[in-house]
Structure 1
Amino acid sequence: MSVPHQPPRIRTALPDDEEELSHLDRATWSPLHAVMPEPQPPYGPFFDERHVPDDYLVAELDRRIVGYIRLALATPLACNAHVRQIQGLAVCDEARGRGVGRALIRAAVEEARRRGARRLTLRVLGHNTPARKLYEAEGFVVEGVLPEEFFLDGAYVDDVLMGRSV
């Protein structure tokens, strides 16, 4: 008989999480979801003036960070302040299939609602089928497609815009 997995603990990131999040970010880099080049040493800070701890929710299993989601304002415009955007989601390989990504998305929806948002949006690469299926299962719908927006790993890839109300 298998022992059921514990659900991840979700919390807001702390400044002290920087090293662990930086390592997770590098370990999970893939052309499946990244448009930026693979990180190379020397690595810059994970947190900066545009990426502050309060923008991140982290998932912990056994007191170890196994995933994060970044929730930010979609734009700096006051007329767009009712929209939050998921601007990054990562789950370490060892925690995949344990509901970590789903828990992070659900926590982001709740946090967006708590912060007064009416909508939550995201962008996902067209070839990232696992992420697209997860987002769709959590109520996101395709709201637009930018065909061949990126040239990654020798192929043109669509940028898929998804959203949902919160």
Structure 2
Amino acid sequence: MPVPYIRHARYTDEETLGWLDRRCWSALHSVQPRPRPPYEPFFGDRFGPRDHLVAELAGVVVGYIRLGLPTPLESNSHVRQIQGLVVADEARGGGVGRALLRAVQDEARRQGARRLTLRVLGHNTPARGLYEAEGFVVEGVLPEEFFLDGKYVDDVLMGRAL
């Protein structure tokens, strides 16, 4: 598979990213109910294009990663948090997620961050394996934090130094 091109999102990506987000929704990685019309805008007050990196293959958007501050506190401003990672089914296993993770680490460093954190559902084995392969370690577990599809699921906190 070709190497994905990673870039910052643009306002013109909003419809594509919203569609990708809805198409890739799964209880494996989402704690929100499946999106239903009318759909919320992808970009909003909290997250805009500047907070997203986009992966393209042959000019087609196949994934994104969202980077944000974990809290609004100045004392926590040296930390960035991955607050969303989506890769289209047809692009999985081809290095898109890994490329997005590496690019977001570079972006977090560029922003002056010293640490990068994320939260992942305990039953999301593929994502956890990818994060571990990219240097993230489990820093905490909130047991049975969510009730999804009739089962209690752990919320796993992971992080790494930059």
Structure 1 unaligned residues grouped into runs of 5+: none
User: Which of 48, 54, 61 is residue 58 of structure 1 equivalent to?
Assistant: 54
Give the equivalent residue in structure 2 for 1:80. Answer: 76
Count, aligned residues: 162
TM-score, reference length from structure 1? 0.97
Corresponding residue number in structure 1 for 2:141: 145
Matched letter for residue 154 of structure 1: G
Identical positions, percent: 72
| Structure 1 residue 44, shift from structure 2 partner | 1.1
| d(CA) in 2 for partners of 1:97, 1:150 | 27
SS at 2:45 equivalent? coil
Aligned to 2:30: 34
**Is structure 2 residue 122 aligned with structure 1 residue 117?**
no
Secondary structure of 1:113's match?
helix
**Aligned partner (choices 2, 6, 11) of residue 6 of structure 1:** 2
1:27-55 per-residue CA deviation (whole Å, 9 max, x = no partner) reads: 10000000000000010100000011100
Q: How does 1:16-31 map to 2 (within 5 A)?
A: 16-31=12-27
Question: RMSD value over aligned CA atoms?
Answer: 0.4
Structure 2 residue aligned with 1:105: 101
If the length of structure 2 is used for normalisation, what is the TM-score?
A: 0.99
Deviation at 1:25, TM superposition (A): 0.1
